[in-house]
Structure 1
């Protein structure tokens, strides 16, 4: 049972809190290059950034994306250290319950979501090009592809292993049931996005989308006994967004193929994935991988297993 792989008497919950803090500190260390770049550029131009908009304006978007994603490399390495030295577990134990990582599962989830997302973007462009602008620029785009392929999977995998792996197991150790880790990791994952530009634009109700996404990723992790599907989905989601479409109100402003010119608004499209698309995906995955024992895997407790 994947969620119980960290279940040990010596793995008190305070260790997970401490481990999470260390991973966060690791990401802060990884932000030192960005901080130095801001200071050097600020002094050279005699203009220090006073807002998020100023910060974005200081750098080429590819360079800024690179500097942001570097922090996740440090977070990932710190997570490995925490799991191995702090909890005396193999790193594989927070990835999957299988004997090795099932890369086929990763690529299946990645392919399904990448194709779906890409198709929607292309259809939107040809349906109403007044809201989506073609901005393809070959050289910056190729550099963006390189940065995205190398660093973005590290970012998305780190987030999945922290929330759906490490913390999921930590909350199971605390509660000894499965619904509490599922709910807590989903809520924390959603709230972590509270400072995203789109939240400031559309209001806190958009957090329903982020919490719902966390819930979806948690469900497929528990049902599949591993994080492979969640890792593939998350990578496809972020990489598609970075390469195909950007806007002035998203976290990553990139040299993508398209730019969304529409004003962000809280409408049915924000909730469509949570209440329609994600349940369909869960159904599809359940058929592909023949999931069973839903109640036990999502709501069961330690004594029952």
Structure 2
């Protein structure tokens, strides 16, 4: 079992408290300093008068994108440090219950969401071209692509290792079951998007989408006994999104191919992924990897494995 992999390391509750403090400091303090420094240097004395939205637009789009993602890269380094040295757990055991990381699963998860995003965007572009502007500029886009290919997987990996790895295993061990970590990590994951500009634009109803996405990634992890599918899916979703479409009201405004200029409304666009698209993704994964025993894998108990007794010990 994936959650039981935590028992290969040290699982005392206080280690998770200290670990979360270290991870938070790495992510939100040390990781964010370069971005804050760059904004202050660029804005000068006027920085104190800027609104939150203006802070996000001080820097060149690509530089802003890189520095924002850099904080996640620092957070990932802090998280892996905590796993290895505070919990004495291997990175492989924090990733999967398999003998080694299955990169085929990673690329499967990446591919299904990437293909879906590209196809649905092309359909929407052809049906409602007035909702889009052609935003492609060769040099800025190539710079964006270089940044995104390196930094976006680091950003999404940080979020996956934090929620579907570190917290999923830690809460699962402390709670003794699988459903409590699934619920808690999904709700926290969604809640961290509360301050995204999309929430201000669309309202709190979009939190259904964010929390629902957390449940989708958590179910993938528990059913597949590893994070490979979730790692790939999250990376594919964010990478293709950053390169393909941007908008003035999204968390990351990029030099993407298209710019969405429509007036977004909270409605079917939020509910359809949760009630139709996400179940289809899970169905495809379940058929591909032959998932069974859903009740046990999502709601079963988590027990400390019995130590192996060798003949000379009996």
Asked if TM exceeds 0.5, the reply is yes
Stretch moving more, 49-58 or 280-289: 49-58
Q: 1:2 maps to what in 2?
A: 2
* Equivalent-residue separation in structure 2 for 1:204 and 1:16 (angstroms): 30
Unaligned runs of 5+ in 1: none
TM-score under structure 1 length normalisation: 0.96
* Equivalent-residue separation in structure 1 for 2:148 and 2:54 (angstroms): 23
Q: Tell me if the contact between 1:7 and 1:169 (Cα under 8 Å) persists in the aligned partners.
A: no
Q: Tell me if the contact between 2:3 and 2:302 (Cα under 8 Å) persists in the aligned partners.
A: no
- 1:91 matched to 2:60? The reply is no
* Equivalent-residue separation in structure 1 for 2:97 and 2:253 (angstroms): 37
* Equivalent-residue separation in structure 2 for 1:89 and 1:302 (angstroms): 18
The residue correspondences of 1:46-125 to structure 2 (distance < 5 A) are 46-48=45-47, 50-125=50-125
Q: 1:38 maps to what in 2?
A: 39
Q: Tell me if the contact between 2:10 and 2:88 (Cα under 8 Å) persists in the aligned partners.
A: no
Could you tell me how far 1:9 is from its partner in structure 2? Answer: 9.3
* Equivalent-residue separation in structure 1 for 2:164 and 2:65 (angstroms): 25
- Note the alpha carbon deviations across 1:234-268, whole angstroms, 9 max, x for none: 00110111000000110000000001111221111
Residue 58 of structure 1: SS of its match in structure 2? coil
* Equivalent-residue separation in structure 2 for 1:211 and 1:5 (angstroms): 25
* Equivalent-residue separation in structure 1 for 2:53 and 2:184 (angstroms): 32
Q: 1:21 maps to what in 2?
A: 21
Q: 1:197 maps to what in 2?
A: 197
* Equivalent-residue separation in structure 2 for 1:15 and 1:303 (angstroms): 19
* Equivalent-residue separation in structure 1 for 2:229 and 2:302 (angstroms): 24
Residue 158 of structure 1: SS of its match in structure 2? helix
Could you tell me how far 1:303 is from its partner in structure 2? Answer: 4.7
TM-score under structure 2 length normalisation: 0.93
Residue 133 of structure 2: SS of its match in structure 1? strand
Q: 1:161 maps to what in 2?
A: 161
Q: Tell me if the contact between 2:7 and 2:304 (Cα under 8 Å) persists in the aligned partners.
A: no
Q: 2:218 maps to what in 1?
A: 218
Q: Tell me if the contact between 1:124 and 1:132 (Cα under 8 Å) persists in the aligned partners.
A: no
Count residues with an aligned counterpart: 303
Q: Tell me if the contact between 1:185 and 1:214 (Cα under 8 Å) persists in the aligned partners.
A: yes
- Root-mean-square deviation (Å): 1.5
Q: Tell me if the contact between 2:35 and 2:67 (Cα under 8 Å) persists in the aligned partners.
A: yes
